[in-house]
Amino acid sequence: MKKLFLSLVLGLSSLTLFAQGPTIVSTEVQTRNVVIEEFTGVNCQYCPVGHDNVSDFAAQYPGRVVPINIHTGGYAAQYKTNYGSAIEGQSNLEGYPAGTLNRQTSGCKTNNITPQGNSWQSTAVSFMNTASPVNVAATADIDVITRVMTIHVEIYYTSDVAQNGNLLNIALLQDNIIGPQIITSGYNAHQKTEDGQYIHMHMLRDMITGQWGDTIAKNNEGSINAGTFISKDYTYTIPQQLGINGDMWDVVLGNINLAVFVTDLSKSGCTSLKGPNIWTGVKVIPNYLNVNTFGANIQSLDAQDVLGCENAVDLYATVRNEGTAITAVDFSYENTTANITENSSVEVDIPTFSSVRVKIGRVSVTPSEVNSFKASITGLNSEEYTSTVAPAITSHTKAEVYHSTGYPTLILKTDTRGSEITWSVYDTEGTVLYTGGPYSNGSVVRDTVVFNNLYDGCFFFSITDANQDGMNNGNGSGNYEIINAQGERMYRSNGKFGAGEVIDFSVDGVGAGLNEANENICQSFVYPNPTSMQATLSVNVNKADKGHITLVDITGRVILDLGERDLVSGENKIDINTSKLSIGSYFIHLRTNNGITVNRLNICR
Res 521: pLDDT? 79
For residues 286-293, average pLDDT? 90
% pLDDT > 90, the chain: 48
Distance, CA of 197 to CA of 108 (rounded, Å): 39
Mean pLDDT over the full length of the chain: 86
* DSSP code string of 564-578: EEEE-SEEEEEEEE-
Distance, CA of 506 to CA of 458 (rounded, Å): 4
Which of 287-296, 363-372, 549-558 has the weakest average pLDDT? Answer: 549-558
pLDDT(221) > 90: no
Given a contact cutoff of 8 angstroms between Cβ atoms, the answer to whether 473 and 442 are in contact is no
Sheet strand arrangement including 148-157:
12-17, 229-237, 148-157, 134-143, 287-289
Distance, CA of 437 to CA of 435 (rounded, Å): 7
Distance, CA of 297 to CA of 300 (rounded, Å): 9
Distance, CA of 216 to CA of 168 (rounded, Å): 7
Sign of CA dihedral 513, 517, 519, 521: positive
Q: Where are the beta strands (DSSP E) in 238-339?
A: 241-244, 247-250, 256-263, 278-284, 287-289, 296-305, 312-321, 326-335
Taking only the tens place, the pLDDT of each residue in 224-236 is 999 999 999 999 9
Q: Which residues lie closer than 8 Å to 16 by C-beta, 6 or more apart?
A: 216, 230, 231, 232
pLDDT(186) > 70: no
Between residues 262 and 518, which one has the greater pLDDT? 262
Whether domain 296-397 has CATH 2.60.40.10: yes
Given a contact cutoff of 8 angstroms between Cβ atoms, the answer to whether 567 and 547 are in contact is yes
pLDDT(8) > 90: no
Nearest to 203 by CA among 248, 255, 241: 255
pTM of the model as a whole: 0.66
Read off the DSSP letter of residue 526.
E
pLDDT(7) > 60: no
| Domain residue spans of the chain | 2-289, 296-397, 402-508, 521-603
pLDDT(17) > 50: no
Q: How confident is the model at residue 517 (pLDDT cuts 50, 70, 90)?
A: very low
Equal fold, 2-289 vs 521-603? yes
Q: How confident is the model at residue 2 (pLDDT cuts 50, 70, 90)?
A: very low
Whether domain 2-289 has CATH 1.10.3720.10: no
Taking only the tens place, the pLDDT of each residue in 375-403 is 999 999 999 998 888 899 999 988 888 88
Q: How confident is the model at residue 134 (pLDDT cuts 50, 70, 90)?
A: very high
Number of C-beta neighbours around residue 252 at 10 A: 17
% pLDDT > 70, the chain: 89
Given a contact cutoff of 8 angstroms between Cβ atoms, the answer to whether 147 and 11 are in contact is no
First to last CA, the chain: 74
Q: Which residues lie closer than 8 Å to 575 by C-beta, 6 or more apart?
A: 534, 535, 536
Res 525: pLDDT? 85
Given a contact cutoff of 8 angstroms between Cβ atoms, the answer to whether 598 and 558 are in contact is no
Distance, CA of 547 to CA of 594 (rounded, Å): 10
Between residues 474 and 535, which one has the greater pLDDT? 535
Given a contact cutoff of 8 angstroms between Cβ atoms, the answer to whether 162 and 222 are in contact is yes
The SS3 of residue 588 is strand
Distance, CA of 12 to CA of 237 (rounded, Å): 7
Q: Is 129 exposed, middle or buried (0-12, 13-18, 19+ CB in 10 A)?
A: exposed
Write the CATH number of the domain with boundaries 402-508. Answer: 2.60.40
Q: Is 577 exposed, middle or buried (0-12, 13-18, 19+ CB in 10 A)?
A: exposed
Taking only the tens place, the pLDDT of each residue in 468-511 is 788 876 556 899 999 987 778 899 999 988 888 998 898 887 64
Read off the DSSP letter of residue 208.
T
Distance of CA 301 to the CA centre of its chain: 18
Classify 521-603 by CATH class: mainly beta
Taking only the tens place, the pLDDT of each residue in 537-551 is 998 888 888 888 888
Res 16: pLDDT? 47
Taking only the tens place, the pLDDT of each residue in 33-58 is 999 999 999 999 889 888 988 999 99
Number of C-beta neighbours around residue 118 at 10 A: 11
Given a contact cutoff of 8 angstroms between Cβ atoms, the answer to whether 96 and 116 are in contact is no
H helical segments located in 174-264: none
Between residues 556 and 478, which one has the greater pLDDT? 478
Taking only the tens place, the pLDDT of each residue in 299-308 is 899 999 888 8
Taking only the tens place, the pLDDT of each residue in 245-284 is 888 999 999 899 999 999 987 655 554 444 578 999 999 9
User: Which of 390-396's residues contact partners 24+ apart within 8 Å by CB, and which partners?
Assistant: 391/298, 392/298, 392/299, 392/300, 392/301, 392/317, 393/301, 394/300, 394/301, 394/302, 394/303, 395/370, 395/371, 396/302, 396/303, 396/313, 396/365, 396/370, 396/371
